[in-house]
Amino acid sequence: SQQGEEDPQALSIQEGENATMNCSYKTSINNLQWYRQNSGRGLVHLILIRSNEREKHSGRLRVTLDTSKKSSSLLITASRAADTASYFCATVQGGSEKLVFGKGTKLTVNP
Amino acid sequence: NAGVMQNPRHLVRRRGQEARLRCSPMKGHSHVYWYRQLPEEGLKFMVYLQKENIIDESGMPKERFSAEFPKEGPSILRIQQVVRGDSAAYFCASSPQVFSGNTIYFGEGSWLTVV
């Protein structure tokens, strides 16, 4: 069954604006990861946040994790056309070695 | 340091034929994972292997699909008697050890089209 569910399914913004994507999950997790996928390409790992962390930054990316609400958000600041891609959250459940992905948010950044 | 290498990148098969997808993990990585992505969907876990062992195949369809990771050579995902519903992107990932809490590295995928 799907663990992570991203919201919104699609997002279209102008260059320079911020983009926020949300992810909800159902069971307890060890960590939550965000990936990016350009059309027709593989997944690129963006950031990992552990279950005991609340916020993490990497360049223009900011990820938050609220384990009480079983949700995470990915913020991309000052977006660029090159940020156009699909973004997926993935969780690792306790005792498991498999990543469980959501359906993703398709982000379009218009120049 | 080469990344995870998958081939072929694109494969077209007629219904009933066999498809073989190969994955060479990153150097030094002994754990391999296969995922399938249907159009407009996220990735779905299929199987997790270590050298010569299948550790978790809970995501593999019961029939027609098999995977191996021999002592020498790449990991192989084999789909027998393909059907149109097998059309998807198949991604391989690898890690140097049990990866919980760490990062795994994905290949560029193999796109299978069944006609």
A17–chain B nearest CA distance, Å: 25
Q: Residue B111's CB: how many other CB atoms inside 10 A?
A: 17
Contact B104 A100 (CB under 8 A): no
Cα A23 from Cα A8, distance rounded (Å) = 9
Q: Are A105 and A7 in contact (CB under 8 A)?
A: yes
pLDDT band at A29 (very low <50, low <70, confident <90, very high): confident
pLDDT at B101: 57
Nearest to A101 by CA among A47, A32, A27, A52: A32
Of A30, A33, A42, the CB nearest to B91: A42
Contact B45 A102 (CB under 8 A): no
Strand runs (DSSP E) across A2-111, as ranges? 5-7, 10-14, 19-24, 29-37, 43-50, 55-58, 61-66, 71-76, 85-93, 99-101, 105-110
Is the preceding omega at residue A8 within 30 degrees of 0, hence cis?
yes
Residue of A nearest to B4 (CA): A42
Nearest to A56 by CA among A24, A31, A78, A79: A31
Residue the block writes with tokens 């990585």 = B29
Residue of B nearest to A44 (CA): B106
- The pLDDT profile of chain B, 115 residues, written as one tens digit per residue, is 569 999 999 999 999 999 999 999 999 888 999 999 998 788 999 999 999 999 999 999 999 999 999 999 999 999 999 999 999 999 999 988 766 556 788 999 999 999 9
Q: Are B1 and B104 in contact (CB under 8 A)?
A: no
Tell me which DSSP letter residue B86 carries.
G
Task: Please calculate the CA angle B74-B56-B66 and round it to the nearest 5 degrees.
Answer: 50
How many residue pairs bridge chain A and chain B with CB atoms within 8 Å of each other?
Answer: 64
Cα B24 from Cα A77, distance rounded (Å) = 36
pLDDT at B41: 82
pLDDT band at A54 (very low <50, low <70, confident <90, very high): very high
Residue the block writes with tokens 């913004």 = A13
B-chain CB neighbours of A88 within 8 Å are: 42-43
